[in-house]
């Protein structure tokens, strides 16, 4: 019979319309600026540089190895390597980026810089309200704008940051360990106790 299909469709629309008053599944709109959807932990948009400690420029993990610059698919990272070495967060002298710029108008948020970084120095941010008034200078982020503390990283990606922290701590313990065992070869029990003690001052 002509019209039955249309009536069936209209019941469906009515079910959705009235259902939206009782069923949360059918009411999906979020009134954005006032109301916000819970953040999804894995989400990413632009990279930032992680630093340890309190001084951003002093604590940058980046040692300016230029791998991310080379691997970046749209080539939006510009690094200028320093000529001198500065002690990093662990006190070891390292090269540092004299300049580290990311053109976020070119960046396509692919996360490949994060994947190739051997020092866990660059990570993905998930801040999304980034409008700017100047499309050239405001979108070319320098290292002062890119640097964010490790605490921030823990806040935006808790699971991932915990894994990275554990890995770094293990690597530092391992780096500290070879120095400790050779001097006392007679005592096999003590080296396991010494590295954590040595590591804590280094982290501060």
Partner 1 sequence: MTTTIPLPPSASLTSTPLPDGGESQLLEVSMGPQHPSTHGVFRMDVALDGEEVVKLKPIFGYLHRNHEKIAENETYLGSMPYTDRLDYFCSLTNNWAYALAVEKLAGIQVPERAEYLRVITAELTRLQNHASLVGFLMQDMGASGTPLMYAFREREKILDLFEALTGARMMCNYMRFGGCRVDLPAGWLEQAKQVVEAFPRFLDEFEQLLTSNEILMARTQGVGVLSKELAVNAGITGPMLRATGVNYDLRKVDKYGIYDRFAFRIPLGDHGDVYDRYMIRLLEMRESVGILQQAMRDLPDGPFTDPKTKVRNFRPKPGEAYGRIEAPKGELGFYLISDGSPNPYRYRVRPPSLINLTILEDMCLGRNVADVVIILGSVDIVMGEVDR
Residues at the interface with partner 1 (CB under 8 A): 2-6, 8-9, 11-13, 15-16, 25-26, 28, 40-44, 67, 71, 73, 108-112, 115-116, 124, 159
In the bound complex, what is the minimum distance in angstroms from residue 54's beta carbon to partner 1? Answer: 29
In the bound complex, what is the minimum distance in angstroms from residue 10's beta carbon to partner 1? Answer: 9
Alpha-carbon distance 182 to 179, whole Å?
Answer: 6
Alpha-carbon distance 154 to 164, whole Å?
Answer: 10
Question: CB-wise, 72 or 89, nearer to partner 1?
Answer: 72
Question: CB-wise, 64 or 89, nearer to partner 1?
Answer: 64
In the bound complex, what is the minimum distance in angstroms from residue 44's beta carbon to partner 1? Answer: 4
Question: CB-wise, 2 or 186, nearer to partner 1?
Answer: 2
Question: CB-wise, 3 or 188, nearer to partner 1?
Answer: 3
In the bound complex, what is the minimum distance in angstroms from residue 77's beta carbon to partner 1? Answer: 13
Contact status, residue 123 vs residue 50, Cβ threshold 8 Å = yes
Question: CB-wise, 27 or 98, nearer to partner 1?
Answer: 27
Question: CB-wise, 88 or 125, nearer to partner 1?
Answer: 125
Alpha-carbon distance 101 to 49, whole Å?
Answer: 11
In the bound complex, what is the minimum distance in angstroms from residue 175's beta carbon to partner 1? Answer: 22
With b meaning 16 or more CB within 10 Å and e meaning fewer, what string describes 62-80?
bbbbebbbeebeeebbebe
- Report, in angstroms and rounded to the nearest whole number, the Rg of the chain calculated over CA atoms: 25
In the bound complex, what is the minimum distance in angstroms from residue 133's beta carbon to partner 1? Answer: 26
Per DSSP, 41 falls in state T
Contact partners, residue 157, CB within 8 Å, separation at least 6: 41, 42, 123, 124, 126
Alpha-carbon distance 169 to 199, whole Å?
Answer: 8
């Amino acid at each position: 019979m002509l019209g039955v299909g249309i009536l069936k469709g209209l019941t469906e629309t009515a079910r959705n319309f009235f259902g939206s008053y009782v069923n949360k599944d059918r009411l999906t709109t979020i009134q954005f600026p006032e109301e916000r959807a819970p953040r999804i932990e894995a989400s990413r948009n632009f990279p930032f540089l992680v630093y340890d400690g309190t001084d951003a420029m002093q604590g940058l993990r980046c040692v300016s190895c230029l791998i991310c610059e080379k691997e970046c698919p749209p080539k939006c990272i510009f690094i200028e390597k320093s000529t001198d070495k500065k002690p990093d967060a662990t006190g070891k002298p390292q090269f540092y980026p004299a300049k580290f710029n990311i053109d976020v108008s070119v960046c396509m948020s692919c996360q490949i810089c994060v994947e190739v970084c051997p020092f866990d120095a660059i990570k993905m941010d998930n801040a999304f309200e980034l409008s700017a008034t100047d499309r050239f200078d405001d979108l070319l982020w320098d290292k002062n704008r890119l640097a964010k503390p490790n605490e921030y990283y823990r806040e935006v990606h808790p699971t991932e940051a915990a894994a990275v922290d554990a890995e770094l701590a293990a690597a530092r313990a391992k780096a500290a360990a070879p120095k400790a065992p050779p001097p006392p070869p007679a005592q096999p029990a003590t080296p396991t106790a010494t590295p954590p003690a040595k590591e804590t001052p280094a982290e501060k």
